[in-house]
């Protein structure tokens, strides 16, 4: 497994991700094995001077992000993250090289290691099945009266040949099955199913998104096909999703490996306890309506750059198309590897350029 490095934090939106994880008290996977929880503190080492930053408030979080950004951009400076080990409870500062480059940062962890994207799903399955072995088990958010009897992982791909919307199925004593989509507390993106999934929900929607993007690049930024520019020239872009499509994007369709009955939102390191028949978890279950209310009734497309070349240059590509028939827009100048990613987010950032469709 690969270790996290400063160079990795300059890619995608990894600076924002790591700041969110530190502020949210999220779990980090350790190269040495197991996990450790962020205490919201970092130690900076700048010109051999050490400073502790404790991110308690939203203002502190902005200071945290700004500080990490400046340090990562300077090869001589560094920072360490204070973490509490989940088994020993020992608290210490960890260097980036002590941390796994997990999927949150573009890495791929071994499934058998218990790290990576499946850790939360497998942890939730184990917690439910362990509780069921001890006797009658109720998850109040799902049902106050019908016991849970088992949890199993959703197998295979969707009809669209994509990862299914449903991550796990919870089996109830009445013979029904409840589809769950799992997300971390600081997940950078939400539902969506990629361009293929979004296209299946509303082809016109994606046409409008790409049309708005190309118009912005060509008219406001004056970028022509084939132009090569620094990645910093192009900001992250947000487009608000029409209200009538939000629920379908959240729950998905049968074709997309849904529909999802509940979202489970919580730390990647699942912890549980049982009080009588009630299973208590360190995450929360939300129905589609509850989750939409949690989001404030708004969802956004986030159009961002990814896998930027070491030259930090992007080539504009209006002519070549992706599998769904839409322009690639951003590619690496030499390899022609696509640099564009569209995800669904629950909020915007001040640095985004907001477009309308």
**pLDDT over 50 (residue 109):** no
CA atoms within 13 A on the CB side of 164: 20
pLDDT tens digits for range 286-329: 998 898 888 888 889 999 888 888 888 999 999 999 888 899 99
What would the mean pLDDT of 177-182 be, rounded to a whole number?
95
**pLDDT over 50 (residue 114):** no
Provide, rounded to the nearest whole percent, the portion of the chain with pLDDT above 90: 52
H helices within 216-327, ranges in order?
246-251, 288-294
Chain mean pLDDT for the chain: 88
Q: What is the DSSP string of 141-201?
A: TT-SSSPEEEEEE--S--TTSS--S--EEEEETTS-EEEEEEEETT-S--S--HHHHHHHH
Q: Band the pLDDT of 8: cuts 50, 70, 90.
A: confident
Q: Give domain limits for the chain.
A: 6-112, 118-188+250-294, 194-243+298-355
**pLDDT over 90 (residue 3):** no
**pLDDT over 90 (residue 91):** yes
Report pLDDT for 76. Answer: 85
Q: Band the pLDDT of 191: cuts 50, 70, 90.
A: low
In three-state secondary structure terms, 236 is: coil
Cα 52 from chain centroid? Answer: 27
């Amino acid at each position: 497994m690969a270790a996290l490095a400063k160079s990795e934090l300059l890619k995608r939106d990894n600076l924002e991700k790591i700041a969110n994880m530190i502020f949210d008290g999220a779990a980090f996977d350790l190269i040495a094995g197991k996990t450790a929880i962020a205490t919201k503190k970092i130690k900076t080492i700048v010109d051999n001077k050490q400073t502790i930053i404790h991110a308690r408030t939203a203002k502190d979080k902005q200071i945290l992000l700004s500080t990490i950004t400046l340090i990562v951009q300077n090869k001589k400076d560094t920072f360490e993250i204070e973490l509490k080990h989940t088994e020993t409870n020992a608290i210490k500062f960890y260097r980036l090289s002590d941390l796994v480059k997990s999927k949150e940062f573009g890495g791929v962890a071994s499934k058998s290691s218990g790290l990576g994207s499946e850790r939360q799903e497998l942890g939730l399955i184990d917690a439910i099945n362990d509780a069921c072995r001890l006797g009658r088990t109720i998850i109040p958010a799902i049902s106050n009266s019908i016991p849970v009897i088992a949890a199993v992982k959703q197998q295979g791909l969707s009809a669209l040949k994509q990862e299914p919307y449903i991550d796990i199925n919870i089996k109830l004593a009445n013979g029904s099955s409840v589809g769950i989509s799992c997300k971390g507390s600081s997940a950078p993106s939400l539902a969506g199913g990629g361009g293929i999934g979004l296209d299946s929900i509303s082809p016109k929607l994606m046409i409008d998104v790409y049309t708005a993007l190309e118009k912005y690049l060509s008219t406001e930024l004056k970028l022509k096909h084939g132009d090569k520019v620094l990645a910093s020239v192009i900001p992250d872009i947000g487009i608000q999703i029409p209200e009538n499509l939000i629920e379908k994007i959240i729950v998905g369709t049968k074709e997309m490996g849904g529909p999802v009955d509940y979202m489970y939102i919580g730390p990647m390191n699942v912890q549980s306890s049982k009080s009588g028949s009630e299973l208590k978890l360190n995450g929360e279950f939300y129905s589609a309506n509850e989750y939409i209310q949690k989001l404030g009734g708004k969802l956004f497309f986030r159009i961002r750059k990814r896998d930027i070349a070491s030259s930090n240059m992007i080539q504009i590509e209006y002519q070549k198309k992706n599998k769904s028939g839409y322009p690639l827009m951003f590619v690496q100048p030499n390899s022609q590897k696509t640099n564009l990613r569209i995800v669904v987010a629950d909020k915007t950032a001040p640095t985004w350029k907001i477009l309308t469709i």
